[in-house]
Amino acid sequence: MHRLGLFILFVVLLAPPARAQNLIAEYQALLGPADHYNSAGLRLEDFGAILQQDRANYHRFGRRDDLDGWDPVFGDPRQRALIPQIWRIAPGSEYIPGSVVAGGTSYVSVRVFGYGTVAEFIIVQEGAG
């Protein structure tokens, strides 16, 4: 039993410390008609894909809605490609994805959490304004 205790202590001491994700960016966006279509002109049927297209329109294509805000993360195409898998909806804003996918326009606030400029997850909620 003594050896097992030493082994556990050794493993614990070598384990890297857990890191909490930090708020690395926050932006506002108007998810408007241009964000509902991909670069090939095909209608997007997934909320995450619409969020991703909004950032592609902002950073890559320069097609910005007046209410779209800048972010320091999604100018990188690799980070932008993560959006459909990492978005979450904030409590109280559950209606937004369905409304947007149905063709509606929605003003949202997006908070990006991760490390440095690497996004781990994003929280989407109704934007103020």
- 54 found inside a domain: yes
- 15 found inside a domain: no
- 118 found inside a domain: yes
Q: Total domain count for the chain?
A: 1
pLDDT at position 15 is 47
Q: Region 83-94: what's the mean pLDDT? A: 98
Looking at the predicted structure, is the pLDDT value of residue 11 above 50? no
Looking at the predicted structure, is the pLDDT value of residue 6 above 50? no
- 8 found inside a domain: no
- 12 found inside a domain: no
- Tens digits of per-residue pLDDT, 47-83? 999 999 999 999 999 999 999 999 999 999 999 999 9
Q: 14 pLDDT band (50/70/90 cuts)?
A: low
- 2 found inside a domain: no
Looking at the predicted structure, is the pLDDT value of residue 107 above 50? yes
Residue 5: burial class (beta carbons within 10 Å; 0-12, 13-18, 19+): exposed
Q: Which domain holds residue 71?
A: 20-126
- 3 found inside a domain: no
